[in-house]
Amino acid sequence: MQELKPSHDRREYICINVDKVYDWIVKELTFDISPTGPIRFPGITPSVNFTGAVVTCKVTPAAHKPIVIMSREDRTFTIGGSRVCLQHLNVQKNFNVTIIVTLPNGAVFTSEKIPVTRCEQVTLCAPNGTDVEITYTDLDCFVCTTGTLTPGVDQITFSALSITVAVCQSIQSTFPVTVEFLANYCEPRADLPTSCSPAGRPKQCHGLFPSPPC
């Protein structure tokens, strides 16, 4: 018989600290960047032959201040027949883009990080005092055009470099609160029994061998 998990008969009010979500939206954002001038590529020499090279990229949030709320302004909207005060935010997003050049012989050269900044306007319920948290559910880039690649000492100059960055982002406004609710305390589950499996053997062809008795 399976042993039932023990439980408390007595429920009790408990308080926990959580983040209350004031508003939550999901947005897509696509933008292009076209870096100009020489780009630092450690290890590149003027003799490198770029014939047949493949150019790709990688984008990541900046390590320092990836998101900056530049300003928030109260604005009144009519939603469902009611007037609602929301906040219009100017948001600065900071990224780092890295360019990867792969030669036909397998040699790979990676650029230094290229800082990229883009600004966006977002409207949601985010009154003063709330935190605005942005999580990238998808962050990717691809190289649209490169033009010709001219090598130098630890650098490459692209004649027509164009990179497209695609962003899927979850934006929430939150504020820490303490909530009270009636709950049972959890109990650990029972440990799973462990035993060795019996030795296996092929199924026998009963009725064929051994011969049934007369």
Beta bridge partners of 71: 90
Q: Which residues contact 203 (CB under 8 A, 6 or more apart)?
A: none
Query: What does the buried/exposed string (b/e) look like for 130-144 if buried means 16 or more CB atoms within 10 Å of the residue's CB?
Result: bebebebeebebebe
Model's pTM, two decimal places?
A: 0.74
pLDDT in tens, 51-98: 999 999 999 999 999 999 999 999 999 888 889 999 999 999 999 999
What's the confidence (pLDDT) of residue 194? Answer: 62
Mean pLDDT for 188-210 is 67
Q: Is the pLDDT of residue 7 over 60?
A: no
Tokens of 9: 């008969």
- Average confidence score pLDDT of the chain: 88
Mean pLDDT for 137-142 is 94
- Cα-flanking dihedrals φ and ψ of residue 12, to 5°? -150, 150
Q: How far apart are CA 92 and CA 120, in angstroms?
A: 6
pLDDT in tens, 30-52: 999 999 999 999 999 999 999 99
